[in-house]
Amino acid sequence: MATETITQITQPPEFIESEAKLYLDQLKNAIGGLKGADLSKILGPQFVADTDLLTKRAQDLAVSGVGSYQPYLQEAGRLAGLAETTLGGVPADIAAARSSLGTAAEDFAAARGMIGPEAYKQFMSPYQQDVIDTTLQEYDFQAAKGAQGVPAAAIAAGAFGGGREGVQRAEYQSSSDRNRAGIQAQLLQQGFGQANQLAQQAQAQRMGVGVAQTGLAGQQLGVGQSQMGLGQLYQGLGNQQIGFGQAGQGFLGKDISALTTLGGVNQAQNQAKLTAAQNLASQQLYQPLTTAQSYGSGIMGLISGYPGSQTVGQTPVPSFAQTALGAGTTLASLYGAMGGFKNS
C-alpha cells in the first residue's frame, strides 16, 4: 500500500496554507456529497444481466425433452414382445416338420414293401381258396350229372355197352377235366390279378401319402422359417425404435448445447454493458472526491518538498474503496500539518 509523508514546516508560506484550506473545503464538500449518495445507482441487481432468451429456450427444451424417448422405448418393448412370441412358435413348427418327415419315411418304406413278385400275397383274399373249392365242387356236381347222360346217348345211338360208349365216356371226362382246370386257373388268375392290383394301388397310395407328408413337412418348415424371419424383423424394428430415441436425445442435446452457448455469449455481452454502466456511475459518484484527493496530493507534495521542512511521520494512502472510510483520517492529518504551521 502507498504511504503519504507528513512534514512539519518551520516557516510555512502563505500560498501553501491558503491552498491547503481550499483543499480542505473541497474534501469536506466531496465527503458530504458521498454521505447522502444513493448507492442503488452503482450497486444492485439492475447491474446483473438477465438470462438470455436463447438460454431460456434451451432450458425449456431440456425440460420438455425429459422422457421424450419413452414412447420409442415402449414401442421397442412391444415389438420385442411380438418377436419373442413369434420366435417361440418356431421350435414347434420345426418339430412338426420333423414329425411329418418321419411319417413320410415310414410311408416310403411301406411303399417299397409293396413292390416285387411276392407283394401280391399280402393282398390275397383269405377266402380265395374257399371260393375255388366251392366253385369246383359245384362244377364236379354238375359234371357228374352230365356224365349220367352219356349212357342214354349211347343207347339212342345203338352203341350202349360197346367201345363207342367207352370212348364217349372218356371224351366227356377229359373235356370235364379240362373245363375244371380252366375254371380253377381262371379263379387263381382272377385272385392274383385282384391282389396285384390292390398291391399297386396300396403302393401308389402309400407313395402319395409319403409325398404329401414330405410336402407338409416342407410347408411346416417354411412356416417356421417365415416365423423366424418375422421375429427377426420385429427385433430389427425394435432396435430401430431404440435408435430413434437415442438419435432424438442426441439431436436435442446438440440443440440445447448450441442455444446455451449462444445465450451465454449474449448474456456475457449484456453483462459487459451493465458492468461498464456500473463503472461509469461509480466514477461519476466518486469524481468530486477523486478530484479533491488528486488536488490534495499535489499540495502535500509541495509541503513535503518545501526547504527547511521536517518529516514527522508517514501514513498510508487509502485505496479507492477505502477513500470514504479514511476521509476522517486524511482531514486529521491535514489539520495536524496546518497546526504545525501555526505553532512554528
Give me the tens of pLDDT residue by residue for the chain, a chain 344 residues long: 445 555 554 455 666 666 667 767 677 776 766 777 778 888 888 889 898 899 999 899 889 888 888 898 899 999 899 888 888 888 888 898 888 888 888 887 777 776 666 666 666 666 677 777 788 788 777 777 776 666 655 555 555 555 665 666 677 777 777 888 888 788 777 777 777 777 777 778 878 888 888 888 888 888 888 988 998 998 999 999 999 989 988 998 999 999 999 999 999 999 999 999 889 988 877 777 777 777 677 766 666 665 544 544 444 444 444 444 444 444 444 444 444 444 44
What is the spatial distance between Cα 305 and Cα 5, in angstroms, rounded to a whole number?
Answer: 10
Q: Supply the DSSP symbol for 121.
A: G
Q: In a 3-state reduction of DSSP, which class is residue 342?
A: helix
End-to-end CA distance of the chain: 31
List of long-range contacts for 180-189, beta carbons under 8 Å, 24+ apart:
180/136, 180/139, 180/140, 180/143, 183/135, 183/136, 183/139, 184/132, 184/136, 187/128, 187/131, 187/132, 187/135, 188/132
What is the spatial distance between Cα 205 and Cα 250, in angstroms, rounded to a whole number?
Answer: 66
Look up the pTM and report it: 0.48
Tell me if 8 sits within 8 A of 310, measured CB to CB.
yes
